[in-house]
Amino acid sequence: MNYLPTRLTADDIATDAFKSVMRNVAGAVSIVTACHGGGRAGLTATSVTALSAEPPTVIVCVNRTASAWPVIEAAGHFAINVLGARHRPIADHFAGRGGFKGEARFAGADWGTLVTGAPTLDGALAVIDCDTEEALERHSHTILIGRIKAISHAQNEGALLYWRGVYGQLDDELQAGAGI
Instruction: Tell me the mean pLDDT in the region 140-154.
Output: 96
Domain ranges of the chain: 28-163
pLDDT band of residue 142 (cuts 50, 70, 90) is: very high
Instruction: Tell me the mean pLDDT in the region 148-157.
Output: 88
The Cα 69–Cα 96 span in angstroms is 13
Alpha helices for 76-154 (secondary structure H): 88-94
The number of angstroms, rounded, from the C-alpha of 143 to the middle of its chain's C-alpha atoms is: 12
pLDDT: is 156 or 167 the higher one?
Answer: 167
Res. 14: pLDDT tops 50: yes
pLDDT band of residue 180 (cuts 50, 70, 90) is: very low
Q: Which CATH architecture has domain 28-163?
A: Roll (2.30)
Are the CB atoms for 77 and 95 separated by under 8 Å? no
* Cα dihedral 110, 88, 48, 156 in deg (nearest 10): 70
Instruction: Tell me the mean pLDDT in the region 38-46.
Output: 95
Instruction: Tell me the mean pLDDT in the region 105-131.
Output: 97
What predicted TM-score, i.e. pTM, was given to this entire model?
0.87
Instruction: Tell me the mean pLDDT in the region 88-103.
Output: 94
Alpha helices for 95-180 (secondary structure H): 172-177
Q: What angle do CA 84, 89, 91 make, to 5 degrees?
A: 65
